[in-house]
Structure 1
Amino acid sequence: MEEGTLMRYAFANVSSAGSQPFPVIVMEERALALAHWASRGLNGVHSMRALMESWDVNARQLREIASESATRELIATVGVPLAHLTIHAPVAPSQVYCTIGNYRAQLLEAAVDSASHLDAQEVEEHRNATLKSIEERRRTGEPYICMKGTSCISGPHDSLRISQGLTSLDWEVEVGVVIGRRLKDVSSIEALEGIAGYCVVNDITLRERIFRADMPQMGTDWIQSKSRPGWLPAGPVLMPAWNVEDPSAFRLHLSLNGESMQEGSATDMIFGIGEQLAYLSSLVGLEPGDLVCTGTPAGIGTHYSRYLRPGDVIEATVDGLGTQRTKCIP
C-alpha cells in the first residue's frame, strides 16, 4: 500500500496471471481472497461490485474476520505479496459524483492568481472579498456537485493516455467516499454512518473544455472536461470506514515528477463529507458502491501554468489510504 498507509487492514481489487479481478483483504502488504471466507456468509466474494452491493450485510462479517488472530496468521502464511498482484480500482460504482470548488485554500489561490495584474493592496482586498464570499456560501449555500462517467475509473497504477492536442490536462487529488447502503433524504450524521469506506482518487480535468467555446452561455461542460476513459484513477485500496477515526483529518498530497504540487487537509473543506452526501441524498439518492469525490486542495496545474504531458509521473496520496502512481503516455 506504499507510503502514507494506515496499517491495520484494507480491501483491494486484484488479479493474478490474467484472471478476472477479485476482492482481497490486505494486511501487512499481503493479500488473501475474500472467497476464502465464503462459508462465513459473505456475499459477492468473487467481484468488487457484488461485494459492495451487499456491503451492509457483509460489513459485520468482514469486521469479525479481520479481527481474528487466525485471519492474520493465515494471511501471513498463505497470503500473496500485494506486489505480486495487479491492483485494480477498488470500486465499481453505478454512479460517480465530484464536488467542485470545495477547499477554501484552492479557491483563495485561484482568486489571488486571477488578480496577479493588480497591486498588492488590491490583491489583498480581492483575497479578503473571496474569503468573505466563501464563508457566506458556507453559511447559506450548498455544495456544487457534478456527475462523472463510470468509464473514467482506472486502476491506481494504470497509465494515463494523453492524446495529441490535449494541452490543459490537470490533476486533482481527492478523498473518494464509497457508499455502503442506500441513502435517501438522510442527515449528515446518517450519511456518515452509511459510508463503506474511503480511497484515493485523482479527478483528471481538461481545463480548456470546462466551458464550451461554441456555447458560452450554457455554462460548464463536465462531459468534455472530466468524463473521458481513464480520467479517474482510484485506489490502491478501500479503507473501511470503521478503520477511519476522523475523515475530516485526512491529509492529501500530490507530486509531479517527484516535485510536490498539492498539500492539503480535509479540514479545509467548505462542506464536509457528511454534508455532501446528505445534499446528494436529497436530490438523487445514493446506492451501495457509489463513489463521491469530495474536492481538491490548492495546487492544481492551473496555478503553476503547468499541465500534464507524456512522460510525466503523478503520485497521489491520502494519508492512511495509500499512494497511486500514474505515468502519462502519448
Structure 2
Amino acid sequence: MSAIPVMPPVLVNISTADCAPFPALLSEDRVLALKHWHSAGLRGTGSISEFLNDWIINANLLKQLCIAETTRELIQQRGAPITAFDVHEPVTPRQVYCTVGNYRSQLVQAALDADDGPHGSRARARRDDTLAAIEARRRDGTPYVCLKGSACISGPYEQLTVGTDMSTLDWEVEVGVVIGRPARNVDVAQALDFIAGYCVVNDITLRDRVFRLDAPKLGTDWLQSKSRRGWLPTGPWLVPTWEIDDPATLHPWLRLNGVLMQDGIASDMIFSIAEQISYLSRQTSLQPGDLICTGTPAGLGSHHGRYLRAGDVVQAGVDGLGSQRVVCTE
C-alpha cells in the first residue's frame, strides 16, 4: 500500500504481525498510537471499539488534539510510516444498518433500465412516475432500512472472494456514519450531534439472492444477499464529525478496474443522514460504534450489465474520507 497524504489527522485502526489492532492518529503518511495521549485523558485507547464506546468523554479532547499544530508535529517526529502497518476497518460495530433505495439517481436509473429500456417509448413515463413516487415517499414515507451482519465487515485493502455461484455480485459505495453516543427518540435537528465520524463503505450485494426463488412470498433475504464474510469493506479511516461541515456535500464514487462506475453526491439522498439517524433511533437504541450505511448513488453493476469477477480491482471512495482498494479473487 502506498502512502496517502491526509490532512487533518484522522482515526485509523492498525496492527503489525506482533500485536492486535489498535487505534491511532494518521497525519500525512505517519501514524501515532492513541495510547500516547492516554495520560492526557483519552480513554479506551487499547482498541477502536473501546475508544468509541467512550466517545462522549474522548470527543472534546480528541478534537483539541486534532486541531493542534503540535499534534501534527508530534506524529511526524514520533510516529511511524503507515506503510509499516496493516490497516483494518476503522470501526467494529455492534450493529450495521443499511438504508436501501435512498438516492434519487439510483432509483430513476433503475426505472429507466426496466421494460423497454432508457430510450424506449415508455421510458419518460417511467421516469416521471418514479420521480413522483420518490416525492410522495419523501413527503409521507420513512427510510427503508435492513440489517447487515457485523461479521461481514472487512478492511479497506483486503481481498474479496467471488465464488463460482456469485455471477451477480455487485458494488454499492456509500457514506458510512458511525454513532458516537447512545441515541433514542432523537429529533432530526439534533441527530448529527450523535455522530462520531464518517467513513467509506462498500455494501457488496448478490443481486440474484435478494429475493428467494424458493420462497417468493417471504420478501427480501438480506442474509444471503448482503451478509457474507467480507461483504462490507470499510475504511480506510474514520474522519471525526467536526471535520465535515455539511455531510450533504460528501461525494461517493467507485471505479472498477480504473473505470468510473458510480459518481454521486449525498444531497441526492431522499432521506438525509440526520433523518436516517432520527428514524433509526425511534425504532431501536443506537449505541456508540454502530454503523449506518446511508444508501448508494446510480451506477450499480446491474445498470452497467457488469458484475464482479475474479481479477477485478474495486476502488471505492468518498471525497474527504479517503478511498479503499479491494482485489477480487476466486
Moved more, 32-41 or 72-81: 72-81
Kindly provide the amino acid, as one letter, of the partner of residue 53 in structure 2.
E
Contact 1:2-1:322 at 8 Å conserved across structures: no
Q: How many residues align?
A: 330
Quote the residue 2:290 is aligned against. 290
Q: Which amino acid aligns with 1:108?
A: V
For residues 140 and 215 of structure 1, the distance between their equivalents in structure 2, rounded to whole angstroms, comes to 30
For residue 88 of structure 2, what is the aligned residue in structure 1?
88
Letter in 2 for 1:178: V
| 1:249-270 deviation line (CA, Å, top 9, x unaligned) | 0001100011110000001000
> How many Å apart are 1:116 and its aligned residue?
2.8
2:24 corresponds in structure 1 to 24
Q: Aligned runs of 1:297-316 on 2, under 5 Å?
A: 297-316=297-316
Does the 8 Å CA contact 1:13/1:88 hold for their aligned counterparts? Answer: yes
- Whole-angstrom CA distance in 2 between matches of 1:131 and 1:185: 30
Q: Could you tell me which amino acid in structure 1 is paired with residue 274 of structure 2?
A: G
Secondary structure at 1:125 match in 2: helix
SS at match of 1:298: coil
Aligned to 2:161: 161
Shift of 1:3: 10
Question: Which residue of structure 1 lines up, in the alignment, with residue 320 of structure 2?
Answer: 320
AA of the residue aligned to 1:89: E
* CA-CA distance at 1:68 after TM superposition: 2.6
In structure 1, the residue corresponding to 2:20 is in which secondary structure? coil
User: 5+ unaligned residues in a row in structure 1: which ranges?
Assistant: none
Q: In structure 1, what is the Cα distance between the partners aligned to 2:214 and 2:276?
A: 32
> Residue 129 of structure 1 corresponds to which residue in structure 2?
129
Decide whether the 8 Å contact of 2:5 with 2:28 is kept in 1. Answer: no
Distance 1:200 1:70 in 2: 28
CA deviation vs aligned residue, 1:17-46 (integer Å, no higher than 9, x gap): 341000001111211000001101111101
**CA-based RMSD:** 1.6
1:263 paired residue number: 263
How far, CA to CA, are the matches of 2:263 and 2:66 in structure 1? Answer: 32
User: For residues 59 and 194 of structure 1, what CA distance do their matches in structure 2 show?
Assistant: 11
Instruction: Show the 5 A alignment for 1:114-193.
Output: 114-117=114-117, 120-193=120-193
Residues 99 and 115 (structure 1 numbering): CA distance in 2 closer, same or farther, change over 3 Å? Answer: same
**Post-superposition offset of 1:117:** 5.0
Aligned counterparts, 1:68-79, within 5 A: 68-79=68-79
- Give how far 1:6 is off: 6.0
Task: Report the counterpart of residue 61 of structure 1 in structure 2.
Answer: 61
Alignment partners' CA distance in 1, 2:121 and 2:6: 44
Shift of 1:66: 2.1
Distance 1:214 1:120 in 2: 33
Q: Distance in 1 between matches of 2:226 and 2:297?
A: 17
Q: What is the distance in 2 between the residues matched to 1:205 and 1:118?
A: 24
1:103 and 1:5 mapped to 2: Cα distance? 30
TM-superposition CA deviations, 1:185-233 (whole Å, max 9, x none): 0011221111000000000000010001011011100001001110000
- Report whether the alignment pairs 1:276 with 2:259: no
How much identity, in percent, do the aligned residues show? Answer: 52
Mapping for residues 248-259 of structure 1, pairs under 5 Å:
248-259=248-259
Distance in 2 between the 1:13 and 1:118 partners?
44
Displacement, 1:4?
Answer: 9.7
